[in-house]
Amino acid sequence: MNFDNPEVADKMLNVIRYWLDMGIDGFRADAVPYLFEREDTNCENLQETHAYLKRIRAMMEAEYPETILLGEANQWPHDLRPYFGGNPDDLTVPGDEFHLSFHFPLMPRIFKSLKTGDVSDIINIMRNTPSIPNNCQWCVFLRNHDELTLAMAAQGHKVDIITRQIIDPNWSEFAAPLDGYRAHKNPRIVRLPCGPKHFLPKESLWPCLNEWATRILDFYHQEDNLPHIFTAHYADGGLAGALLQAQSDIHPLHLHRTLAGGAEDGQAESIAGDSGRTGPTVSLQRAHPGQANGNESRRPHHRQHPAGADGAIPPSRLSQRS
């Protein structure tokens, strides 16, 4: 939507009013740094976005004082601080943008610390978390669809992106068993054979789930280096994650958008059998000891890396899908 259009901006405020009148407690604003767009910028953290958020907050506090505005921006804490508003030098000045905001970098460090028994990364990220206005709050979570991203690789962690190998002259960029990203040293793209060699739409690969999970575990057993953490994204990845959990002692981070998000140990086979579907894509993270300083802007990985963390087709090739 074009929020530069005054009619659009006003209409969205009325939409907010409609739902608040229906009795909801508040809103989660998704990917909020990109609300406005400007040529010759990456459209991130524009002043226009902050101005509109202040307008929303003022309306909610004046008309619906018991409701909240929750920010979702996958950024480092010091980059997220302006989204609370107020005065960074005087915490008694009330915040005038988000009431709460997700603390994205904390969550993966919690899981890493549980696995390694080393809390230094948690201590470090909290030391790099700025203070916020007294009427605002950080929102700590243990699950979210963006909790482990390639930005972790820039901080010394080893990240593997697992996807299906495609042997197809029309899709030669997906043939190499191992690949990487020019902008980062630590992440690997690992392409494993599974199902037909040629390209198929993602939804056609569900029947390959059992083979996919086996291929992933075989790969890491051959390296003698199982991952500390792996995440299962969306419906197909959720089922794959459930099978990986059933076949190993690694508990996946099932996300709220997966079909297997609530699966208990031992249920993966019945889930896959009942649905008749399987998922070809799962991203795995191997945590690597090291300091994790929040010194650079952290953007959602799908904006930086066209292949995505789930092996999705690059945007430039979408028109070729059939």
Give 45 or 202, the one with higher predicted confidence. Answer: 45
In the chain, which residues fall in CATH 3.40.50.2000?
A: 150-320
Q: Are 241 and 267 in contact (CB under 8 A)?
A: no
- pLDDT tens, position by position, 31-90: 888 888 888 888 888 899 999 999 999 999 999 999 999 998 878 899 999 999 999 999
Q: What is the chain's mean pLDDT, rounded?
A: 74
Alpha-carbon dihedral of residues 58, 60, 62, 65, nearest 10 degrees? -130
pLDDT category of residue 150 using cuts at 50, 70 and 90: low
In the chain, which residues fall in CATH 3.20.20.80?
A: 6-139
CB within 8 Å of 58: residues ≥ 6 apart: 96
Q: From CA 5, how far away is CA 25, in angstroms rounded?
A: 27
Q: What is the pLDDT of residue 299?
A: 25
Pairing of strands 253-254, 137-139: unpaired
Q: Are 217 and 248 in contact (CB under 8 A)?
A: yes
- DSSP designation for 3: T
Q: What percent of the chain has pLDDT over 70?
A: 70
Q: What is the pLDDT of residue 53?
A: 96
Residue 173 has pLDDT above 80, yes or no: no
Q: From CA 120, how far away is CA 236, in angstroms rounded?
A: 34
Lookup: tokens for 101: 């905001």
Q: What is the pLDDT of residue 54?
A: 96
3-class DSSP state of 254: strand
Q: What is the pLDDT of residue 84?
A: 96
The overall pTM is greater than 0.85: no
Q: Which residues pair with 231 in a beta bridge?
A: 253, 283
What superfamily would CATH give domain 6-139? Glycosidases (3.20.20.80)
Task: Please choose, from the candidates 219, 221, 209, the residue with its C-alpha nearest in 3D space to the C-alpha of residue 246.
Answer: 209
- pLDDT tens, position by position, 210-243: 898 899 999 999 998 888 777 776 667 778 888 8
Pairing of strands 26-29, 68-71: parallel
Counting every residue written for the chain, the total comes to 322
Fold of 150-320: Rossmann fold (3.40.50)
E strand or H helix at 253? strand 253-254
The dihedral built from the CA positions of residue 192, 314, 148 and 257, taken in this order, carries a sign that is negative
Residue 301 has pLDDT above 50, yes or no: no
Residues marked active site are found at 30, 72
Count the helices and strands in the chain (H runs, E runs): 9, 10
